[in-house]
Amino acid sequence: MKRRVTGGSALDRGRAVRFHFDGREMTGCRGDTLASALLANNVRLMGRSFKYHRPRGVLTAGSEEPNALVELKRDGTFHPNIRATLQELHSGLEARVQNCWPSVRHDVMAVNDLFAPFLSAGFYYKTFMWPRAFWERLYEPVIRRAAGLGRLPRAHDESLHERAFAFCDLLVIGSGPTGLMVALTAGRAGADVILAEEDRQMGGRLLSQAGQIDGQGAEDWVQGVLAELTALPNVRLMPRTSIFGTYDGGVFGALERVGQHLAEPGLAPRECYWRITARRAILASGALERPIAHPGNDRPGVMLLSAVASYWHRWAVDPGRVVVFGNNDHALASAQVLADQGMQIAAYIDPREDVAGDTPFPFHSGGEVVATRGRHGLREVTIRVRGRESRIACDTLALSGGWNPTLALTCHHGARPVWDEAIAAFVPRPGMVPGLEAAGAARGRFSIAACLADGVEAAQAALAELGLKAPDMVLPEAEDSAYALRPLWQVKAKGRAWLDFANDVTTKDVTLAAQEGFASVEHMKRYTTQGMAPDQGKSSNMGALAVLADATGGSIPETGTTTFRPPFVPVSIGALGAGAKGAGFRPERRTTSDAQARAMGAPMIEAGLWYRPSYFPQAGDADWRTACNRETGFVRQTVGVCDVSTLGKIAVQGPDAGRFLDFVYTGTMSRLAVGRVRYGLMLREDGHVMDDGTCARLNEHDYLVTTTTAAAGEVMQHLEFVQQAFCRGWQLRLASVTENWAQMAVAGPLAGEVLGHVLGEVPDLPFMGYCPVQIGAVAGRLFRISFSGEKGYELAVPARFGADLFRHLVALAEGLGGGAYGMEALNVLRIEKGFITHAEIDGRVTAFDLGMQGMMSSKKDFIGRAASQRPGLTGPERMQLVGLRPSDPQAGIAAGASLFQPDAPATAAHVEGHVTSACYSPTLGTWLGLALVVNGRARHGARLRLEDGLRGQRCEVSLCDPVFFDPEGGRMRD
Amino acid sequence: MYLPCPCCGWRDMREFTCIGAADYCDRPEADAPPEAWDNYLHLRDNPAGPARDLWYHAPCGTWLEVARDTVTHAVTGSTAVEEAG
Amino acid sequence: MIELSASDPFAGLHLPLVHGAARLDSVPPVRITAIAPLPGQTEALASALGGFPAPGEVLDTTLRLVWVGRGQAFAFGEGLPEGLERHAALSDQSDGWAGAQLEGADAQAVLARLVAMDLRALAVPSSVRTLLGHLPLLLVKQSETAFDLWTYRSMAGSLSHELDRAMRMVAARRALA
C-alpha cells in the first residue's frame, strides 16, 4: 500500500482485507470503504461518466457520491450502481467499474467526448425527431443501448431483503454534533428515541476533523456520548441506516444495510427497509460541501475538501500533493489543520481578494483554478491570479465552494426552502413537515458549538411537545468560528466546467438551456438531465441553479429549486418489495381438500386468493379436455363431487334479518320459509348487478347468504355499509362464516346414492330446500341446490372435517362410476345451463341485460332500484345475455371474441356484442358460448360473424336462448 | 399515513379502503326525483381543503367518515357511520 | 353412515418452528363462538356472560372473551350460558380460524417485520384486529413475549410462511451481533 499514512480512526490496521477490483487483487484494511481502499491502493479512476464516458474518480466520502458507482458481485451476480463510498470492504469483495468497455482505462465510448459539441443539452430532443419511421427501429434501440448507468443483472435477484416497522417518540436523523446532543437530551428525558446514522460509525463530521470538545478530542467525546446512549434502554442506535423519505403521519422510510457489508451474512438480509413512525423527528443531517464549476473539474483526483479530510482522518489516505481551491473561511481553516497534520498542501487558492493568512503553504487570494491536466488522473492545475496564469503540479485538487444544508427530507411534503444570503444556501423553514424540525448544520448553523447548542434546543422543543420534561444540559465547549464565504458558482474560463458529474452536465449546457427557452428550473432540469442521476444532483443542483440564475439574469431565490422527492438516496426495489415474491407475493387460500386434489394430480388454478383444482387427470388422457369431458360426463350420467367451500357465506341474524335482506336483494327474502333456499340478485346502488347467489333461511332469525367466490369480500363490505349507514338500530348482525364450513357439491343422477352412504338416510328434501344433518357425530348442513343442472346437493361440515368428507365423497362417487370434478367441468356444466358467473356479471350489466328483470320486486325499495329504472339501463339498445352456437359445431370459440353482422367490417364501431364464456359441450357435441349482444333476446336465430383477432378465429354463429340443456329444469328438480 | 378508526384507534392506511366522499351515506328517499338520485350517485365536489371521506376499516368491519384536509393532508378526526348524524 | 375424522389447519406445515429466540406452534383446537350483541342488548348479555369486552379487551370469565371487531367478541372454550341468543347473534367459528402462538424473547422483533403496529404499547392481555403482511390477523397479546396469532383457516400456510421467513432473518441478525 503506497498511499497510507499512519492512524485512520475507522481502520483496524492489523486486519488486512483482500478484495478484487476490475479483476485485480488488492488489499485494504478492516474498516475501509471500497472507495478508501481504492484510494489507498492508488486507484483514482473508478468509473466513466454517463454521456461522454469521461474518466471519473471519487468526489465525496459519503452517500452523495456522483462518480464512484461500481458493480458489486453479490449472490452470484453483479449489482450496478453501488456507491464505493458507502460500500464497506469485506474479504472476497468483488467489484468492477461500470459504463465502460473494454476497460475503464480504454473505453471505446469515450469517443463520445470528441463529439461533445454535438451532444449538448437537448441533443436527443433535437436529433431523434425525424424521420418518424426511425423512432422505433433505429433511434430507440440506439438510445436504449447507450442509456442508463450500469447494467441490470439478467438473473433474478436472489438477495434476501427484509421489511420492518419501528415506532418511537423521537427520531433523530444524523449523529453529528447536533444529532448526538438531541439524542442525549431526549434520552436523558426518558423519551423513546431512535438515532439513525447512515455511516457505519456514529459521530458525523466529528469523525473527520481534529478539534476539541469539552477539552477532549472530538472522537473521544463522541465515544463518551455513545457509551451513555448505548446504556440507555430507551435509546435505539441504528447505524448504517439512511432515512430516505418523509411521509404523512410521521412516517419515515429508512434503509438499513444489514448484511451488505459482510462477506458471509448467512441468512441475514442484505438490506432492511424500515418504516419508522415517529411522534416527533429532528433532522440533524448536517450539510454537504459543494464543488466549484471550473474547467476540467471532473478529472480523477479532483475531490471535495471535506472528502480529502475524511479520507485522511478516518482512513489514513494520503492524497499526495494537494491544491485547495476554496471560497470560504472553513476551507482555509481546514487546509491549515491538514497541513499541521502533515498533509502536503501545495497551494491554497481563494477567489476572495480580501483574505489573507499566515499559512505554511503558498496562499493565492484573488485566484481561480482555470484548467487541469492528467489523462486518467490529475497531474497539474493551472491557476489564474489577478490575470496571471501559472501551473502547479499536484495529485489532488480539493474543492470547497461552501456548504448546503442537507434539507431534502424537509421538502418531501412539497414545501420550499428559503434562501439564506449569509451562507449563500437554501435553508429549511420551520414546519415544512409536521412534526419534523431541522437543527444544526441542516438549518445553516455551521460551527460545532452552534450545532451542540441547537441540538439541545431542538430536543427541548420536541420534548415539550411530547409532554416530557427536558433535563438540564450543560453545553460542552467547542469551536465556534464564524463562517464567511463569497459565492463562486463557476469559473469563467475556456473549457468545459462540470456541474453534474454523473450525468455530464456542464455550465454551458445550463446556459444553452436558458438560451433555448428552458429558463424555468424544472424545464432546465429535464432539458439537460441535471440532477437526474442516482445522486439526484446532491452536489450539483445548487451550482446549476446559480448558473441558470446568472444566465437568465434573475436571482437564485427567484430561480427557485427543483422539487425534492423521496427517496433521498437510492433504494433497491428488492428492499421495498422485501418478502413479496414467491409464496410471499400474496396470501394463498387453500381449501380443506387442497392436499388431496394436488395428490390426485390436479393442476390448481387461482380464483382470487383461492386455489382450486382445474381438472383431475388420469393416465392416458390426451389433454385437459379429455379430463374435462370425462368429469362433465360423470355429473350428467352418474355423480360428481366438487369442493365449493370458496363461495362466500355470510350469516345474517336477528329479528330484522329478513327485512334487511329484502333491502339488499332485488327479490323478497323475508317471506322465504324456514328450510328453503332462494336464488337472489344484489345490485349496486347505480343499478348494475353486484353479485348473485343463494339465500337460505336456516331459522326464523337466521339466514345464510352465499356469494360468488370472487365477490365474497366485496359483498360483505357492502352489506356492512348498508347495515351501518341505512339500518341503524335494526335488530340485525352479520358474520362471515365462509371459513368455518367446508362445503361439497354432490351432483348427478346418483347424488342421492352417495349421500345415502354418508348420511345413512337421505332426507326428503325438495329442490331449493335445506335441512340440518348428522354425519355420525358431526353436525352438518344439507342444501339441495344445483349449479350443474343435475340433481344436486351441497353438504357442509365444520372445516376440520372437510378433508375427510371430500375423501369419502370422491371414493363413493368413484365407486358409482363418477368422481371428483374440477373448475373446467364446472364451467362446462354451468354454460350448458346458461348459469352466469362474473364473466357475465362484469360490472356493466343490469338485471334487465341478464333477462332477470322479473326478479326485481316492485313492491319495496332495495339497493339499486331507483337507478336500475333510469333510461338507458333497460331497452333494446342494451347488450343482453344470449346463447351462441357455431354453425359448424366443431368451430372452436373463446371468451373475448367480438360479434359482427356477417358483412360488417371488423372494427370497433361495428361490434354488436362479445362472447363472455365459451366451452366445448360433450353433452351436446358442440361448442357453446354465452354472449352479450345488442338487443340479443329479440334476435334469437340471427346469424352473426364471430371474430377473435387475438387467436385468429372467425366463424358464423347463431343466437339462441342461453339455456342450452334441459331448459325446463326437470333434471335438477325431481 | 394513519387514520383514526373509531373502534381501533389510529391505524396504518393499508388497513383501510377509501370509497369516496361521505355524501354516499346520504341516500335519497326511494321516491325522490331523478335529480336527487343523479346527485347522490354521480355528483361530487372536489374540495381543496377540508373534506369528508368514507372509509372502510376491514379488520374490524367499521365504516367511518374521516375529516381530513386535501391540501395539508392533515387528518383531524373520524366518526363511525353508524353513529354519524 | 360414515364417521369423519378431523384435521389440523397446520397439517403438513412442520410446526413447531424454532429459530433463534422465537418459537411458533399451533394453538390446540378450541371451541370458538362469535357473539354479537343485538342493539340495546349489550348490558343484558354482559350480565349473562360476566362481562363483554370493549374494543381491544380480553376478559377472562368462565370463558375467555376476546374482542374481535365492531360489536363482536369470540368466546374461547366450552360452557357458554344458555339463552344467549335472546341477546346476541351467535355463530360457530371454531373451524374458521387457524391459531398459532409465537413465543420467545424475539417474538416482538419477529412481529415487527410483519405487523404495522407498536406491540409494546398493548396491555396484557389484549386483542387487536390488524394485518400480518397481507393476511387478516386477530392478535392476542398474552405477555410481552407471547402472542396468539389467528388468521383464516385457509391461510394457515401463508401465516406460517411469513412467520418462518421473519423468524429466520431475526435469528440470522442475532447471529451477526
On whether both A280 and A296 belong to a single domain, the answer is: no
Q: Tell whether A551 and A452 lie within a shared domain.
A: no
Judge whether C150 lies within some domain: yes
The reply to whether residue B59 touches residue C129, judged by beta carbons under 8 angstroms, is: yes
**Looking at the structure, do residues C21 and C52 belong to the same domain, yes or no?**
no
Same-domain status, A255 and A334: no
Neighbouring residues of A22: CB distance < 8 A, sequence distance ≥ 6: A95, A96, A97, A103, A104
CB within 8 Å of A2: residues ≥ 6 apart? A41, A42
Cβ proximity of C34 and C90 under 8 Å? yes
Question: How far A905 CA lies from chain B's nearest CA (Å)?
Answer: 36
Minimum distance, in Å, between the CA of residue C135 and any CA atom of chain A: 6
- The C-alpha cell at A568 is 433521498
Decide if C172 and A162 are in contact by the 8 Å CB cutoff. no
| CA separation for the pair C36, A733 (Å, rounded) | 7
| B60 inside 8 A of chain A by CB | no
Segment 700-759 of chain A within 8 Å of chain C by CB: 729-733, 735, 737-742, 757-759
Which of A589, A606, A644, A704 is the best mutation test for C, with the most CBs of C within 10 A? A589
Return the pLDDT at A1: 39
Asked whether residue A147 falls in the same domain as residue A169, the answer is no
| A149 neighbors A56 (Cβ within 8 angstroms) | no
Which residues from C are below 8 Å from B80, CB to CB? 70
Say if CB A615 and CB A629 are below 8 A apart: no
Interface of A with C in 30-69 (CB under 8 A): none
Cis peptide before A131 (omega within 30 of 0): yes
Query: A690 and A593 in one domain?
Result: no
Displacement of CA A144 from its chain's centroid (Å): 23
Cis preceding-peptide flag for A557 (omega within 30 of 0): no
Nearest-CB residue to C70 (from B14, B15, B61)? B61
Task: Give the separation between CA A280 and CA A295, rounded to whole angstroms.
Answer: 45
C-beta atoms surrounding A46 within 10 Å: 28
Verify that C56 and C87 share a domain, yes or no. Answer: yes
pLDDT for residue A50: 76
The number of helix segments (H) and strand segments (E) in chain C equals 3, 11
- Cα A5 from chain centroid (whole Å): 44
Domain count, chain A: 7
Q: Name all domains of chain B by residue range, CATH numbers in brackets.
A: 2-80 (3.30.2270.10)
- Closest-approach residue (CA) in chain C for B7: C55
In a domain, A70, yes or no: yes
Distance CA A764, CA A315 (A): 88
C117 in A contact zone (CB under 8 Å): yes
**What is the residue whose three cell numbers read 363511525?**
B80
Taking alpha carbons only, the member of A233, A235, A230 closest to residue A195 is A235
Same domain for C55 and C101, yes or no, is no
Q: Does A130 touch chain C (CB under 8 A)?
A: no
Smallest CA–CA distance, residue B55 to chain C, in Å, is 15
**Same domain membership, residue A145 and residue A33:** yes
d(CA A593, CA A857) in angstroms, rounded, equals 39
SS3 A38: helix
In terms of phi and psi (left: phi > 0; alpha: psi -120 to 50; beta: otherwise), the region of B9 is: left
* Residues in chain B within 8 Å Cβ distance of C131: 14-15, 59
Cis peptide before C16 (omega within 30 of 0): yes
Q: Measured between beta carbons, which residues in chain A are less than 8 angstroms from residue B40?
A: 685
Give A249's contacts in chain B (Cβ within 8 Å): 1-2, 13, 75
Chains that touch C (3 or more CB pairs under 8 A): A, B
DSSP C148-162: EEEEEGGGHHHHHHH
A418 and A386 within one domain: no
CB C99 within 8 A of CB C149: yes
Contact between chains at B27 and A726 (C-beta distance less than 8 A): yes
3-state SS assignment for residue B12: strand
Domain membership of residue C122 (yes or no) is yes
B2 to chain C, any CB pair closer than 8 A? The answer is no
Interface residue ranges in chain C relative to chain B, Cβ cutoff 8 Å? 55-56, 69-70, 72, 116-117, 128-131, 136-137
Nearest beta carbon to residue C131 from set B59, B61, B62: B59
**Dihedral sign, Cα of residue A304, residue A306, residue A307, residue A313:** positive
Q: Please check whether residue A838 lies inside any domain of the structure.
A: no
From chain C residues 53-82, the ones with a CB under 8 A of any chain A CB are 71-72
- On whether both A417 and A276 belong to a single domain, the answer is yes
- Select from A689, A709, A738 the last residue of a domain: A738
pLDDT at B75 over 80: yes
- E strand or H helix that includes residue A255: strand A251-257
Q: Does the distance separating the beta carbons of A861 and B58 come in below 8 Å?
A: no
Does any domain span residue C160?
yes
Tell me: do C41 and C108 sit in the same domain: no
Q: Which of C77, C87, C93 has the alpha carbon at shortest distance from C138?
A: C93
- Tell whether A696 is covered by a domain: yes
- Rounded to whole angstroms, the Cα distance separating A398 from A302 reads 6
Distance from C-alpha of A165 to C-alpha of A868, rounded to nearest angstrom = 47
Q: d(Cα C169, Cα C110) in Å, to the nearest integer?
A: 8
Closest approach of chain A CAs to the CA of B82, in angstroms? 5
Domain of C152, CATH number, reads 3.30.1360.120
Q: Please report whether residue A655 resides in a domain.
A: yes
Instruction: Count how many pairs of residues, chain A against chain B, have C-beta atoms within 8 Å.
Output: 52
Residue in A776, A290, A820 with CA at minimum distance from that of residue A602: A820
* C-alpha span between A761 and A753 (Å, rounded): 9
Q: B61, C131: Cβ pair inside 8 Å?
A: no
Q: Is A676 on the interface with B (CB under 8 A)?
A: no
- d(CA A801, CA A813) in angstroms, rounded, equals 18
Domain span including residue A321:
291-401
Of A264, A610, A800, which to mutate for an interface test with C (greatest number of C Cβ within 10 Å)? Answer: A800
CA distance A547 to A525: 12
Look up the domain containing C66 and give its range. 32-92
A724 and B56 within 8 Å at the Cβ level: the answer is no
CB-based contact, A528 to chain C, within 8 Å:
no
A354 exposure class (CB count in 10 Å sphere: 0-12, 13-18, 19+): exposed
Q: Does residue A485 form part of some domain? A: no
Chain A positions touching C133 (Cβ under 8 A) are: 579, 584, 587
Inter-CA distances, A509 with A497, A500, A512, A526, Å: 10, 10, 5, 12
The answer to whether residue C2 sits within a structural domain is: no
Kindly state whether residues C25 and C104 are assigned to the same domain.
yes
What confidence score (pLDDT) does residue A150 get?
Answer: 76
Grid cell in block for residue A572 = 433497491
Render each residue's pLDDT in chain C as its tens digit; 177 residues: 799 999 999 999 999 999 999 999 999 999 999 999 999 999 999 999 999 999 999 999 989 999 999 999 999 999 999 999 999 999 999 999 999 999 999 999 999 999 999 999 999 999 999 999 999 999 999 999 999 999 999 999 999 999 999 999 999 999 997
Which three cell numbers mark A132?
Answer: 418518424
Of B2, B40, B82, the CB nearest to A249: B2
Number of domains in chain C: 2
Q: Assess if residue C3 is contained within a domain.
A: no
Closest approach of A89 to chain C, Cα-based (Å):
16
Grid-cell match 478530542, residue found: A217
Crossing angle for the helix pair A305-315 and A329-340, to the nearest 10 degrees: 30
Instruction: Indicate the residue of A720, A724, A867 with minimum beta-carbon distance to B41.
Output: A867
Contact of A602 with A613, CB cutoff 8 Å: yes
Closest residue of C to A161, CA-based?
A: C169
Which residues of chain C neighbour A808 with C-beta distances below 8 Å? 2, 4
Mutate to test the interface with B, among A724, A858, A860, A870 (most CBs of B within 10 A): A724
Neighbours of chain B (3+ CB pairs under 8 A): A, C
Angle at A915 between CA A909 and CA A921, to 5 degrees: 155
pLDDT < 70 stretches in chain A: 1-2, 100-104, 108-111, 114-132, 135-136, 138-148
C45 and C83 in a single domain? The answer is yes
Same domain, A4 and A89: yes
Q: Which of A686, A720, A724 sits opposite B41 (nearest CB)?
A: A686
CA distance B58 to A970: 43
User: Does the beta-carbon distance from C172 to A268 stay under 8 Å?
Assistant: yes
Q: Which residues of A touch B80 (CB under 8 A)?
A: 724
Q: How far is CA A138 from CA A110, A120, A494, A678, in A?
A: 22, 21, 36, 64
* Final residue before a domain boundary, out of A96, A126, A155: A155
B34 contacts on A by Cβ (under 8 Å): 870
Q: Of C143, C57, C151, which Cα lies nearest the Cα of C107?
A: C143
Assess whether A17 and A132 both reside in one domain: yes
Say yes or no: A267 and A375 in one domain: no
**Cell output for A485:** 464565504
**Residues of B with CB below 8 A from C42's CB?**
none
**Dist CA C38 CA A917 (whole Å):** 44
Strands A396-400 and A321-326: parallel
Could you tell me if A315 and A268 lie in one domain? no
Q: What's the CA gap between A332 and A164, in Å, rounded?
A: 45
